[in-house]
Amino acid sequence: MKIALIGYGKMGKAIEAIAVAKGHEISHIIDRDSQHLLEKENLQGADVAIEFTTPETAFSNILKCFEAGVPVVCGTTGWLEHLPEVTAACLEKHQAFLYASNFSIGVNIFFELNKKLAELMGPHTDYNVQMEEIHHTQKKDAPSGTAITLAEQILAASKAKNTRVNEGTHDADKLGIVSKRIDPAPGTHIVNYTSTIDDITIIHTAHSRQGFASGAVKAAEWLKDKKGVFSMKDVLNL
């Protein structure tokens, strides 16, 4: 495939290395100094775009890809207030879009474990559930997109919690998420249920960005030639 990389930070470079190793061509590298490549006439040669930028630019970047008829795999977090608009634009223009808060295969399996555990624990209000996430200091959003996904799964099943807060809390109706920024941590997510009798804890720890980058390339391979709005659950058949 010909892949347009939108965003050329550490994740973009990790994606580039894996894509090239798998025999794909990086047709465009688009960062702050090459925004002209996002114009329709320049972007149309790409088979798929992989977008890892900032919450402030992701929405515009995605719409420009739709205008060029290029499918988009997006891993930028912190912009999801615009997701309904992106979904509508994708369907209206008969394009393809895949968003994930985390592309790691392990994390997506972790999502399924978290969802099932939340469903099992939902009726047991004597357990208090809280979360913690740890990332590197360059992480721009807090809580992380992965943590938000985990929290939404818990809130959907919980009989006690009805909202999330980005801090530790003793309020029974609030799900606390403690966000820590420590270098060089690529990402750790902890979900902890505590009671006076025992604790249940599930943890996912990433050792590097390679899992995220590899999953993003896998998603791009899967999305090529499709139409519609998808997630990693579709890619991994979860």
Cβ atoms of residues 150 and 111 within 8 Å: yes
Whether the predicted pLDDT of 77 surpasses 90: no
The candidate with the shortest Cα–Cα distance to 47, out of 217, 236, 179, is 217
Would you please indicate which residues are annotated as catalytic (active-site) residues?
Answer: 135, 139
Give the least confident one: 36-40, 138-142, 153-157. Answer: 138-142
- Residue 138 pLDDT level (bands cut at 50, 70, 90): confident
Neighbours of 85 (CB within 10 A): 12
Q: What is the rounded CA–CA span in Å between residue 220 and residue 172?
A: 41
- Check residue 139 and give its pLDDT: 82
pTM, two decimals, is 0.82
- Check residue 166 and give its pLDDT: 95
- Check residue 140 and give its pLDDT: 75
Whether the predicted pLDDT of 32 surpasses 90: no
- Check residue 208 and give its pLDDT: 85
34, containing H or E segment: none
Contacts of the segment 168-174: beta carbons below 8 A, 24+ positions apart: 168/130, 169/130, 172/128
The candidate with the shortest Cα–Cα distance to 231, out of 52, 82, 111, 92, is 111
Cβ atoms of residues 181 and 136 within 8 Å: yes
